[in-house]
Protein backbone atom coordinates (compact mmCIF):
# COMPACT_ATOMS: atom_id res chain seq x y z
CA UNK A 1 0.00 0.00 0.00
CA UNK A 2 1.28 3.47 -0.86
CA UNK A 3 2.61 5.66 1.91
CA UNK A 4 1.83 9.39 2.08
CA UNK A 5 4.33 12.13 2.77
CA UNK A 6 4.04 13.66 6.20
CA UNK A 7 4.21 17.38 6.89
CA UNK A 8 4.48 16.81 10.62
CA UNK A 9 8.21 17.22 10.68
CA UNK A 10 7.90 20.98 10.76
CA UNK A 11 9.98 21.65 7.71
CA UNK A 12 9.40 21.95 3.98
CA UNK A 13 9.68 18.64 2.16
CA UNK A 14 12.38 18.17 -0.46
CA UNK A 15 12.12 15.66 -3.30
CA UNK A 16 15.39 15.08 -5.17
CA UNK A 17 14.78 14.40 -8.87
CA UNK A 18 16.81 11.39 -9.97
CA UNK A 19 16.86 12.72 -13.52
CA UNK A 20 19.86 14.81 -12.54
CA UNK A 21 21.75 11.87 -11.00
CA UNK A 22 24.33 9.95 -13.01
CA UNK A 23 22.31 7.00 -14.40
CA UNK A 24 25.35 4.74 -14.05
CA UNK A 25 25.70 5.64 -10.37
CA UNK A 26 22.13 6.00 -9.20
CA UNK A 27 22.61 3.84 -6.12
CA UNK A 28 25.58 5.90 -4.98
CA UNK A 29 23.64 9.10 -5.66
CA UNK A 30 20.73 7.98 -3.47
CA UNK A 31 22.94 6.54 -0.75
CA UNK A 32 24.91 9.79 -0.74
CA UNK A 33 21.81 11.64 0.47
CA UNK A 34 22.01 9.61 3.71
CA UNK A 35 18.27 9.51 4.29
CA UNK A 36 17.88 13.30 4.03
CA UNK A 37 15.38 13.11 1.17
CA UNK A 38 11.67 13.13 2.01
CA UNK A 39 10.95 11.06 -1.10
CA UNK A 40 12.55 10.23 -4.44
CA UNK A 41 11.11 12.00 -7.49
CA UNK A 42 11.16 9.77 -10.58
CA UNK A 43 10.58 11.47 -13.95
CA UNK A 44 9.09 9.16 -16.57
CA UNK A 45 9.28 10.53 -20.15
CA UNK A 46 7.97 8.83 -23.27
CA UNK A 47 9.39 10.82 -26.18
CA UNK A 48 5.85 11.84 -27.19
CA UNK A 49 4.26 13.92 -24.45
CA UNK A 50 7.72 15.39 -23.96
CA UNK A 51 10.64 15.26 -26.39
CA UNK A 52 12.90 13.33 -24.04
CA UNK A 53 12.89 9.63 -23.04
CA UNK A 54 13.90 8.50 -19.56
CA UNK A 55 12.74 5.56 -17.46
CA UNK A 56 10.08 2.89 -17.27
CA UNK A 57 8.54 0.68 -14.58
CA UNK A 58 11.73 -1.41 -14.33
CA UNK A 59 13.56 1.44 -12.63
CA UNK A 60 10.68 1.99 -10.20
CA UNK A 61 10.66 -1.72 -9.36
CA UNK A 62 14.41 -1.70 -8.80
CA UNK A 63 14.15 1.35 -6.54
CA UNK A 64 11.28 -0.25 -4.61
CA UNK A 65 13.37 -3.38 -4.07
CA UNK A 66 16.53 -1.56 -3.04
CA UNK A 67 14.85 1.17 -0.96
CA UNK A 68 11.81 -0.34 0.66
CA UNK A 69 11.46 2.58 3.10
CA UNK A 70 11.63 5.40 0.57
CA UNK A 71 8.51 7.08 -0.75
CA UNK A 72 8.57 6.96 -4.56
CA UNK A 73 7.03 10.05 -6.18
CA UNK A 74 6.51 9.05 -9.82
CA UNK A 75 5.84 11.87 -12.32
CA UNK A 76 4.44 10.47 -15.56
CA UNK A 77 5.22 12.72 -18.53
CA UNK A 78 3.58 10.33 -20.98
CA UNK A 79 0.69 10.45 -23.44
CA UNK A 80 -2.30 8.28 -22.58
CA UNK A 81 -1.08 7.53 -19.05
CA UNK A 82 -4.07 5.20 -18.56
CA UNK A 83 -2.05 2.66 -20.58
CA UNK A 84 0.81 2.55 -18.09
CA UNK A 85 -0.45 3.37 -14.59
CA UNK A 86 -1.02 -0.28 -13.74
CA UNK A 87 2.59 -1.19 -14.52
CA UNK A 88 3.90 1.64 -12.35
CA UNK A 89 1.53 0.73 -9.52
CA UNK A 90 2.72 -2.88 -9.65
CA UNK A 91 6.32 -1.67 -9.72
CA UNK A 92 5.77 0.00 -6.36
CA UNK A 93 5.08 3.69 -6.96
CA UNK A 94 3.62 5.54 -3.96
CA UNK A 95 2.52 8.78 -5.64
CA UNK A 96 1.50 8.42 -9.28
CA UNK A 97 1.07 11.82 -10.94
CA UNK A 98 -0.41 12.35 -14.40
CA UNK A 99 -0.66 15.41 -16.64
CA UNK A 100 -4.08 16.95 -17.27
CA UNK A 101 -2.96 17.57 -20.88
CA UNK A 102 -2.14 13.88 -21.50
CA UNK A 103 -5.50 12.17 -21.04
CA UNK A 104 -9.09 12.60 -22.21
CA UNK A 105 -10.48 11.03 -19.05
CA UNK A 106 -8.69 12.59 -16.12
CA UNK A 107 -11.41 11.98 -13.55
CA UNK A 108 -11.66 8.27 -14.38
CA UNK A 109 -7.88 7.90 -14.43
CA UNK A 110 -7.33 9.48 -11.02
CA UNK A 111 -9.98 7.24 -9.48
CA UNK A 112 -8.31 4.24 -11.14
CA UNK A 113 -4.90 5.19 -9.72
CA UNK A 114 -6.47 5.21 -6.26
CA UNK A 115 -8.07 1.83 -6.92
CA UNK A 116 -4.62 0.50 -7.83
CA UNK A 117 -3.44 1.38 -4.32
CA UNK A 118 -1.40 4.47 -5.25
CA UNK A 119 -1.80 8.07 -4.15
CA UNK A 120 -3.16 9.98 -7.17
CA UNK A 121 -1.47 13.18 -8.27
CA UNK A 122 -2.33 15.64 -11.03
CA UNK A 123 0.02 18.07 -12.74
CA UNK A 124 -0.15 20.79 -15.35
CA UNK A 125 2.25 22.47 -17.74
CA UNK A 126 3.18 26.14 -17.24
CA UNK A 127 0.88 27.15 -20.11
CA UNK A 128 -2.17 25.33 -18.75
CA UNK A 129 -4.66 27.29 -16.60
CA UNK A 130 -5.00 26.00 -13.05
CA UNK A 131 -8.80 26.03 -13.49
CA UNK A 132 -8.38 22.89 -15.64
CA UNK A 133 -7.76 20.77 -12.56
CA UNK A 134 -10.25 22.28 -10.12
CA UNK A 135 -12.96 19.66 -10.86
CA UNK A 136 -10.67 16.80 -9.78
CA UNK A 137 -9.01 18.26 -6.70
CA UNK A 138 -11.17 16.15 -4.37
CA UNK A 139 -9.67 13.03 -6.02
CA UNK A 140 -5.97 13.80 -5.51
CA UNK A 141 -3.38 13.60 -2.77
CA UNK A 142 -0.89 15.75 -4.66
CA UNK A 143 -0.97 18.65 -7.11
CA UNK A 144 2.29 19.19 -8.96
CA UNK A 145 2.73 22.68 -10.41
CA UNK A 146 5.27 22.58 -13.23
CA UNK A 147 7.60 25.58 -13.15
CA UNK A 148 9.39 24.65 -16.40
CA UNK A 149 8.09 23.08 -19.59
CA UNK A 150 8.59 19.40 -18.80
CA UNK A 151 11.12 17.21 -20.54
CA UNK A 152 14.53 18.26 -19.29
CA UNK A 153 16.34 19.10 -16.10
CA UNK A 154 18.37 22.25 -15.65
CA UNK A 155 15.90 24.73 -17.17
CA UNK A 156 15.15 28.23 -15.87
CA UNK A 157 12.31 28.69 -13.34
CA UNK A 158 9.17 30.38 -14.68
CA UNK A 159 7.96 32.72 -11.89
CA UNK A 160 4.53 33.28 -13.45
CA UNK A 161 3.40 29.88 -12.11
CA UNK A 162 3.59 31.06 -8.49
CA UNK A 163 0.07 32.49 -8.70
CA UNK A 164 -1.23 28.96 -9.44
CA UNK A 165 0.12 27.80 -6.10
CA UNK A 166 -1.59 30.65 -4.31
CA UNK A 167 -4.87 29.86 -6.05
CA UNK A 168 -4.57 26.18 -5.10
CA UNK A 169 -4.03 27.15 -1.45
CA UNK A 170 -7.21 29.23 -1.53
CA UNK A 171 -9.26 26.44 -3.13
CA UNK A 172 -7.86 23.85 -0.73
CA UNK A 173 -8.91 25.94 2.27
CA UNK A 174 -12.28 26.94 0.80
CA UNK A 175 -13.24 23.37 -0.11
CA UNK A 176 -11.65 21.78 2.98
CA UNK A 177 -9.37 19.55 0.90
CA UNK A 178 -6.09 18.00 1.92
CA UNK A 179 -3.78 17.59 -1.10
CA UNK A 180 -0.11 18.53 -1.00
CA UNK A 181 1.19 21.18 -3.39
CA UNK A 182 4.49 20.32 -5.07
CA UNK A 183 6.54 22.40 -7.50
CA UNK A 184 8.99 21.07 -10.08
CA UNK A 185 11.50 22.70 -12.36
CA UNK A 186 14.33 25.18 -12.00
CA UNK A 187 14.16 25.27 -8.21
CA UNK A 188 17.18 26.19 -6.11
CA UNK A 189 18.55 28.53 -3.47
CA UNK A 190 17.57 31.68 -5.38
CA UNK A 191 13.84 30.96 -5.59
CA UNK A 192 12.89 28.28 -3.04
CA UNK A 193 11.90 30.82 -0.37
CA UNK A 194 9.43 32.49 -2.76
CA UNK A 195 8.08 29.10 -3.83
CA UNK A 196 7.43 27.96 -0.25
CA UNK A 197 6.04 31.38 0.69
CA UNK A 198 3.54 30.99 -2.16
CA UNK A 199 2.25 27.81 -0.49
CA UNK A 200 4.34 24.98 -1.90
CA UNK A 201 4.65 21.99 0.46
CA UNK A 202 7.07 19.85 -1.54
CA UNK A 203 10.06 21.18 -3.47
CA UNK A 204 11.43 19.03 -6.32
CA UNK A 205 15.06 19.71 -7.19
CA UNK A 206 17.33 17.94 -9.65
CA UNK A 207 20.37 19.92 -10.70
CA UNK A 208 20.39 22.02 -7.52
CA UNK A 209 21.01 18.81 -5.56
CA UNK A 210 22.82 16.33 -7.79
CA UNK A 211 24.76 19.04 -9.63
CA UNK A 212 26.28 20.20 -6.34
CA UNK A 213 29.66 19.08 -5.04
CA UNK A 214 27.94 17.54 -1.99
CA UNK A 215 24.29 16.67 -2.77
CA UNK A 216 23.45 15.94 0.88
CA UNK A 217 24.63 19.39 1.96
CA UNK A 218 22.84 20.95 -1.03
CA UNK A 219 19.60 19.27 0.01
CA UNK A 220 19.92 20.55 3.58
CA UNK A 221 20.80 24.04 2.35
CA UNK A 222 17.74 24.02 0.12
CA UNK A 223 15.50 23.09 3.01
CA UNK A 224 17.09 25.77 5.19
CA UNK A 225 16.73 28.38 2.43
CA UNK A 226 13.03 27.70 2.07
CA UNK A 227 12.41 29.98 5.01
CA UNK A 228 9.09 28.85 6.39
CA UNK A 229 7.37 25.92 8.00
CA UNK A 230 5.51 24.19 5.19
CA UNK A 231 2.66 23.26 7.53
CA UNK A 232 1.59 26.90 7.64
CA UNK A 233 -0.91 27.09 4.86
CA UNK A 234 -1.99 30.34 3.26
C1 LIG B 1 11.33 18.22 -15.76
C2 LIG B 1 11.23 17.24 -14.62
C3 LIG B 1 11.88 17.71 -13.39
C4 LIG B 1 13.36 17.91 -13.49
C5 LIG B 1 13.76 18.99 -12.54
O6 LIG B 1 10.63 17.75 -16.85
O7 LIG B 1 9.88 16.95 -14.33
O8 LIG B 1 11.57 16.87 -12.27
O9 LIG B 1 14.08 16.75 -13.21
O10 LIG B 1 15.09 19.28 -12.74
P11 LIG B 1 15.74 20.66 -12.28
O12 LIG B 1 15.56 20.77 -10.81
O13 LIG B 1 17.15 20.54 -12.72
O14 LIG B 1 14.99 21.75 -13.01
ZN1 LIG C 1 9.34 15.88 -12.40
Dihedral of alpha carbons 182, 154, 148, 170, sign: positive
What ligand has the least distance to the C-alpha of 155?
1
The CATH number of 13-225, from 3.40.50.1100, 3.40.50.720, 3.40.50.2030, 3.20.20.70, is: 3.20.20.70
Q: Which residues, 6 or more positions from 5, have their beta carbon under 8 angstroms from its beta carbon?
A: 13, 38, 39, 71, 73, 95, 180, 202
pLDDT of residue 233 exceeding 50: no
Q: What is the mean pLDDT of residues 27-34?
A: 97
Query: What is the three-class DSSP state of 115?
Result: helix
Query: What pLDDT is stored for residue 7 in this prediction?
Result: 83
Our mutation pick for probing the ligand 1 site, out of 14, 17, 74, 209, counting the most ligand atoms within 8 A of Cβ, is: 17
Domains in the chain: boundaries: 13-225
pLDDT digits (tens, 9 = 90+) for 167-206: 999 999 999 999 999 999 999 999 999 999 999 999 999 9
Ligand 1 binding pocket includes 145 (Cβ within 6 Å): no
CA of 97 to the centre of ligand 2 (A): 9
Distance, CA 203 to ligand 2 centroid (Å)?
10
Report which protein residue has its CA nearest ligand 1's atom 4: 153
Which is catalytic among the residues 38, 73, 141, 184?
184
- Whether residue 27 has pLDDT greater than 50: yes
203-221 per-position pLDDT tens digit: 999 999 999 999 999 999 9
Distance of CA 141 to the CA centre of its chain: 11
Mean pLDDT of 124-134: 98
Query: What percent of the chain has pLDDT above 70?
Result: 95
Say how many Å lie between the CA of residue 184 and the centre of ligand 1. Answer: 6
What does the pLDDT read at residue 173?
A: 96
Write down the mean pLDDT value for the chain.
95
CA distances from 149 to 94, 161, 181, 211 (A): 24, 11, 18, 20
Q: Does position 231 have pLDDT exceeding 50, yes or no?
A: no
pLDDT value of residue 171: 98
Q: What is the pLDDT of residue 229?
A: 53
- Of 66, 65, 128, 60, the residue nearest 99 (C-alpha): 128
Q: Decide: pTM greater than 0.75.
A: yes
Contact 179, 97 (CB under 8 A): no
Cα-based distances in Å from 136 to 38, 100, 106, 179, 207: 26, 10, 8, 11, 31
Amino acid sequence: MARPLSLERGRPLVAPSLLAADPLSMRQAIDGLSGEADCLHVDVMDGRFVPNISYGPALVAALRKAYSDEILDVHLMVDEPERSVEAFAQAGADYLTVHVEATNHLHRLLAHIGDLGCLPGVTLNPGTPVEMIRPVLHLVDLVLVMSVNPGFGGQAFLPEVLSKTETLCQWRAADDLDFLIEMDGGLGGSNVAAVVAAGCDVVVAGSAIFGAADPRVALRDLRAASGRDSRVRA
